[in-house]
A and B are shown apart, each in its own frame.
Chain A
C-alpha cells in the first residue's frame, strides 16, 4: 500500500515537473517579457539592465529552478493585461468556479446514477428509450449551445432566471460566495445545469452499462433465488458493485468540469477562473496562461492521485494483483 502510494506520488511529481517545464518555456519564450514591462521609449541599455536585474540572462536551468521556487511559493508574476499579481487574480476568481463545478458535479452524480439505474432496470420502456436518445443528443450538443438554449428558454422567453453573472455575493473571509443569497442561487441554476449535462450523460451511460453487466452475473441470480427483495438486490448488491468505475469516472471528470467551466463561464459571463483564462488567451497574457496551466495540472494530479488511492481502498482485488491504473 505504502509503496504503491509512494510510486504514484513520484509519478505525480514528475507530471507536475513536466507541466512546470512547459509553463516555464511558455512564460519565458512566448513573447518578450521585457517588451511587455517597459514602454516603447525605453533605451536598449535600460532593457539590458532590466534583463540583467530580472536574471533573464542566467542559464536555463537556473531560471527554471527560480520559476519552480516561485511557483511553490505561489508566485507567478504580474498579469500583462490587468497589472495585478496573477496568484491574487486566480484566488479572487476561484470561489466562483469551485461553487459552479461542485454544484454541477453533484447534479451530474445524482441524476446520472438515478437515470442510469432506471434505464438498466427497465430496459424496454418508453422512458428508457427517451432517456437514451436524450443522452445521445446531450453528447452531440456542444456545451455552449446547451447554455444558449437554456438562456433562451428560461431567461429570454420565460424570464424566470438571470442569464449572466453571479447575482449578489457574500464575503466570508477571502471566499466570496453566491450560495447564501437568493439571487446568487438563482444565478447558479442555469450555468450548473449546462456544465453538468455532459458529465450526467457520461455517468448515466456508464452506470447503465455496468448495471446491465452486473445484473447478468450469477450472484444476482443466486440472490434472486434466495428470495431477496428486488430493492435489496438492485441497490444493495447490483448498484454497489457498479460504483467502483463510477467513482473513478466522476473523480476524473471533476477535473474536466473545471476545464469545461471555461465554456460555461464564457456563455454566462460567470466571473470565474475559466473566463479569466480565456480572456488571457485572446490577448496572450502569458503569466496568467502559465499559472492557469499549473493550477489545472495540479488539480488533475491531485484528483488522479486521490482516485487511484480510493480505487485501491474500495476494490480489494487490486491489492493482490499489483499496482492499479487510474483509467
Chain B
C-alpha cells in the first residue's frame, strides 16, 4: 500500500477512511474504472444541469425554426445560428436534445432500479427470514419471472397499463408507467441474492442474540441483517442500472416508451434512424454514442464493484 498508515489512536475523518480503504485502493489501481467513473460523472452532471448548460431549449416551440433544420455539425444554419452537433429535421439543436434526453433516460433508469431494489430487497429479506411457505411462494414467482426476458415483461406491463389508463392521462403517466414496468421486471435478481444472504445471516449468533433480547423481527431485518447484505445489493443495483437504461432506450426505440414530447435517448435514436439513408448521420450518431457511453461506463463500474467487493478475489 502506497498511502501512509493512518494513526489508529485518533478517530480519522470519513474521507481519510475512504481513501485508505481496500475498495478505494482497487479503484485507483484500475485505470478503466477511473475513466468509466469520470465519464459517468460527467454525463450525470451534464444531464442534471441540462437546463443551465444546454445552448437551446429544444422543447420550446417558439425558439425552433424549421429553417435551422438539417444543419450539419460544427456549422452555421441557413439562419446564421451555430450548432456544435448539428440540428434535426425540426431544427432542434442535437446537443440540447441529448442533454435533455439523457436526463429522461437517467431519471427513468435510476428510479426504476431503486423501485426494483426496494421491492426485491424487501421480498428477499422477508422470504429468507420467514422461510417455509412465504419463501416458497416468493421464490417461485421470482423463478417464473426470471425465465422470461425483462424486456418482454416490461412490454406486457406497459401494454396492460396502457389499456387501463384513460387516454387523456396516458401522456403524463407514461414515464411513471415505464418506471413501474422496468422496475417490476427487474426485482427478482435482488430478491434472489438477498434471500440467499439472509438465510446465511439468520443462522448467525448475533441474530439469535437479538431475537432472545426480544427485538422485533422487522427491526432485526432492517438493523442487523440488511447492513450485511448491502455489498451484493450494490453490485446488482449498478449492473441493474445499466440494464434499466438499455431497457428504457429499447422500449422508447420501439415506440412504446416515453411520449414524443419528452424524448429520451431511445426516442432520439428512433427519430434519427429515419435519416440513416438520407445522409444526416449526426441526428442518429450522437444520441447513440451517448447511450453507449452511459451503458458502458455503468457496466464497467458494476464489473469493478463486483470484483472489489468479493473478498475471494482480493489478494
Please list the residues of chain A having a beta carbon within 8 angstroms of any beta carbon in chain B: 15, 18, 26, 30-31, 136-137, 139-145, 148, 151-152, 156, 252, 255-256, 259-260, 262-263, 266-267, 277-278, 280-282, 284, 286, 289, 293, 296-297, 300, 304, 327
Contact = CB atoms under 8 A, between A and B. Distances in A.
Nearest to A139: B299
4 tightest A-B CB contacts, nearest first? A30-B163, A281-B159, A140-B296, A259-B152
Given A156-B276, A327-B146, 19 more contacts: A18-B144, A136-B300, A141-B295, A143-B250, A144-B249, A144-B253, A144-B254, A145-B269, A151-B276, A156-B277, A255-B148, A262-B151, A262-B155, A278-B254, A281-B159, A281-B162, A284-B162, A296-B152, A300-B148
Interface stretch (B2-10, B91-99, B226-234, B284-292): B284-292
A284 B147 contact: no
A284 B249 CA distance: 21
Q: Is the interface of A mostly helix, strand, loop or mixed?
A: helix
Contact of A140 (B144, B147, B148, B242): B242
A327 B143 contact: yes
Nearest to B273: A148
A256 B292 CA distance: 22
Given A145-B288, A289-B159, A263 B147 contact: no
B269 A148 contact: yes
A156 B279 CA distance: 9
15 contacts: A18-B144, A140-B296, A142-B246, A142-B250, A142-B295, A144-B269, A148-B273, A259-B148, A263-B254, A280-B159, A281-B155, A281-B158, A282-B255, A282-B256, A296-B152
Contacts of A140: 242, 246, 292, 295-296, 299
Contacts of B155: 262, 277-278, 281
Interface residues of B, number: 38
Contact of A137 (B255, B284, B296): B296
Contacts of A282: 255-256
Contacts of A144: 249-250, 253-254, 269
Contact of B276 (A31, A152, A278, A293): A152
A22 B235 CA distance: 32
B284 A148 contact: yes
